[in-house]
């Protein structure tokens, strides 16, 4: 469990960025990082799992020659070893044993289509320094949390927890309509509504581009569009279940 934080279209000082990032210290006790450039901030709290060295520290830049893409990532890509080999065959180089590098190279190669290749759970932010836009994504079922809020003058902030982005808000007040109406809270987790007014939940199975033109969210995965085809015989069904479980 790591923590991610990001702000676009709004300059904030390093002290405020540190305050936001350290509000999720419990999510990543093994390291922290803040990257800032021209009104963009990315922050990270690290729980080291795959690569315990500084090679896996974030925010992470790639490729090494230019550092065009900068990543803040929470989650795990289970098939990153296979993807890394595929990308190596295309000429990509890697310096760590982290799946974070693979996410960056995958986005560089396939842009948003890289999401179809990932087997895992994630929420991540990738800033493109050349095109000055932020790529945002959350896994198919929303295992990893991600929240966002529209700030004044076109700024947009993202965080793994609501309290990470509240220091950037002019006013923090409860969404009373949500918490006082039982009928609206039944499917609370499947909506964009949050208990703090103005903060929205980034939808599962979705990606977005955020920048000077605001934010545009698109859904890239829906369970109803991806049904599993079952074999006709019971014996084949048992074998398919055994294979999936393994």
Residue of 181, 176, 182, 147 whose CA lies nearest to 161? 147
User: How far is the CA of 91 from the CAs of 2, 114, 129, in angstroms?
Assistant: 30, 17, 22
Q: How far apart (Å, rounded) are the C-alpha atoms in residues 22 and 33? A: 10
Q: Which of 2, 20, 114, 194 is catalytic?
A: 2
Dihedral sign for Cα atoms in the order 63, 22, 124, 228: positive
Residue 184 buriedness (CB in 10 A; 0-12 / 13-18 / 19+)? middle
Q: Does the annotation mark 194 as catalytic? A: no
Q: What is the DSSP letter of 170?
A: S
Cis peptide before 158 (omega within 30 of 0): no
The number of angstroms, rounded, from the C-alpha of 100 to the middle of its chain's C-alpha atoms is 11
**Other C-beta atoms within 10 Å of 246: how many?**
5
Q: How far apart (Å, rounded) are the C-alpha atoms in residues 206 and 108? A: 18
Q: How far apart (Å, rounded) are the C-alpha atoms in residues 27 and 25? A: 5
Active site residues: 2
């Amino acid at each position: 469990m790591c923590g991610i934080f990001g702000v676009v279209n709004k300059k904030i000082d390093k002290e405020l960025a540190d305050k936001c990032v350290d509000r999720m210290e419990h999510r990543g006790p093994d390291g922290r990082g803040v990257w800032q450039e021209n009104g963009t901030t990315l922050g990270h709290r690290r729980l080291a799992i795959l690569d315990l060295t500084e090679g896996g520290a974030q925010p992470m830049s790639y490729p090494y020659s230019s550092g065009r893409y900068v990543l803040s990532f929470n989650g795990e890509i289970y098939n990153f070893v296979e993807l890394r080999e595929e990308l190596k065959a295309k000429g990509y180089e890697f310096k760590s044993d982290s799946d974070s590098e693979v996410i960056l190279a995958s986005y560089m190669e396939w842009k948003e289509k890289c999401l179809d290749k990932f087997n895992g759970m994630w929420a991540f932010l990738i800033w493109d320094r050349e095109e000055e836009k932020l790529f945002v994504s959350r896994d198919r079922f929303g295992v990893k949390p991600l929240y966002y809020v529209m700030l004044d003058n076109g700024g947009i902030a993202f965080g793994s927890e609501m309290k990470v982005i509240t220091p950037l808000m002019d006013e923090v007040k409860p969404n009373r309509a949500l918490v006082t109406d039982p009928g609206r809270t039944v499917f609370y987790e499947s909506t964009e509504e949050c208990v703090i007014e103005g903060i929205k939940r980034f939808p599962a199975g979705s990606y977005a581009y955020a920048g000077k033109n605001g934010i545009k969210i698109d859904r890239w995965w829906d369970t109803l569009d991806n049904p599993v085809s079952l074999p006709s015989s019971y014996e084949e069904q048992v074998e398919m279940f055994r294979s999936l479980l393994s």
